[in-house]
Amino acid sequence: MAKKQKPESDDQQYQRFLEKVQEMVDAGELSPTEAEERFERAMNEIARSKSDSS
């Protein structure tokens, strides 16, 4: 049976998230610049498709 995880506060969960993100950046698995560019492209595509359908 799986162990029950103890509940984390929002601050603890946020801190753990930041640590994991930094580990991924340090390992070269995540590029914040590339992620931002991809996000912007995706949002622009959504905005374009919504304006085309209006």
pLDDT tens by residue, 10-30: 999 999 999 999 999 999 999
Whether pTM > 0.95 for this model: the answer is no
Nearest-5° Cα angle at 11, 43 to 7: 105
Residue 30: partners with Cβ closer than 8 Å, 6 or more residues away: 21, 24
Calpha distance 5→17 (Å, rounded): 16
Per-residue pLDDT band for 39 (boundaries 50, 70, 90) equals very high
Give pLDDT, residue 53. 75
